[in-house]
Amino acid sequence: MSPFSSLTIWIVLATVIPGFITIAFLYLIFSWVFSGEYLCLPALNYWIGVSLAISIMIITQTFGILQEKMFMCCELYPKDIKGINGEDIDVENTYKRMYGVLAGLQKEDDTHGHMQRIIGQYFLTVNNLVAYVLSIIVVMVILLLNPELYSLRVVGFTLVMVLLYIFTFFVMRVRFRSMIQSVSVLQNRIAKREEKES
């Protein structure tokens, strides 16, 4: 894969898609959950709309990075990951070396782009979690400011966000496991290549 196409995959998976999910839920909050109490789309011109969309995407990714660090600091990741030959993988060390390993990635190491997709999918799920959390926070803030807006829609929407968060959290752990296994394989492959070259 070319550097440009790789960069495109990363941007789409880690920023654009989670950002659109956040925008979609915010739209639902302001147009359906609270029955259009706050939303006034005609007041938004094209460039303001685009600017808001890009800002929401960047904010979603920023909180995603912080959330990822929190998961690692709180050790919420699976620790009993085994390699393709059944060997134990040093999960924390492999994760810390991931970006360095990816920097040494050559075209023949990931000819079909599977490695990049696995890593991209992991960050996609992490950033999707942000969309659910932000949606819940927005709903709670609106309710605190306007308790009279409480309704079954609010309860239903919040419950769906909580369930999506729980489900996506487990998916994230699955993708983390696959990512660590892939990085471990790549790390060993690069080490063997460097050993041959030396």
| pLDDT value at residue 40 | 55
Mean pLDDT in residue range 152-166: 95
Q: What is the pLDDT of residue 135?
A: 94
Residue from 180, 158, 161 nearest 71 by CA: 180
| Closest among 95, 88, 90 to 68, alpha carbons compared | 95
Summarised one tens digit per residue, pLDDT across range 74-93 is 888 888 898 877 888 988 88
CA distances 154 to 26, 113, 165, Å, are 13, 41, 16
Environment class of 198 (CB within 10 Å of its CB; exposed 0-12, middle 13-18, buried 19+): exposed
pLDDT in tens, 113-147: 777 788 888 888 999 999 999 999 999 998 998 88
Residues 6 or more apart whose Cβ sits within 8 Å of residue 48:
none
pTM: 0.81
Does the pLDDT at position 103 exceed 90?
Answer: no
Positions of E strands within the chain: none
What pLDDT is attached to residue 166?
Answer: 96
Report the chain's C-alpha Rg in angstroms: 20
Q: What digits encode the pLDDT tens for the residues 13-60?
A: 778 888 899 989 988 888 888 876 555 555 556 777 788 888 888 899
The pLDDT assigned to 183 comes to: 87
Confidence category of residue 177, pLDDT binned at 50, 70, 90:
very high
